[in-house]
Amino acid sequence: AQSVSQHNHHVILSEAASLELGCNYSYGGTVNLFWYVQYSRQRLQLLLRHISRESIKGFTADLNKGETSFHLKKPFAQEEDSAMYYCALSSVFNKFYFGSGTKLNVKP
């Protein structure tokens, strides 16, 4: 069965600290992995996906198939990064499965 696990429910950092939000997944087939971000009282929006291997707003995420992980990283956190972050996978049937989310607070 497919699942996404985010073990860090709430992360508090100081500005300029390095950031890593954990994500592990379980899925038997070809998978697409994503990170979505939700700023306070706003809709979810795509942050990045594993296929593109790009950096958005300084964030990166590398897919590790051996560890079935897709951790989100940023070398220097900023106060404006404070938000809810959701790791998600989409299956071949175009269904999206989300983790429980990580609330990130970056303090100035």
Partner 1 sequence: NAGVTQTPKFRVLKTGQSMTLLCAQDMNHEYMYWYRQDPGMGLRLIHYSVGEGTTAKGEVPDGYNVSRLKKQNFLLGLESAAPSQTSVYFCASKGASSGDFEAFFGQGTRLTVV
CB of 108 to partner 1, least distance (A): 26
CB of 90 to partner 1, least distance (A): 7
Is residue 96 near partner 1 by the rule CB under 8 A? yes
Three-state helix/strand/coil letters over the chain: CCEEECCCCEEEEECCCCEEECCEEECCCCCEEEEEEECCCCCCEEEEECCCCCCECCEEECCECCCCECCEEECCCCHHHCEEEEEEEECCCCCEEECCCEEEEEEC
Q: Which is nearer to partner 1, 78 or 82 (CB)?
A: 82
CB of 106 to partner 1, least distance (A): 20
Site string for partner 1, 30-59 (x = CB under 8 A): --x-x-------xxxxx--x-x--------
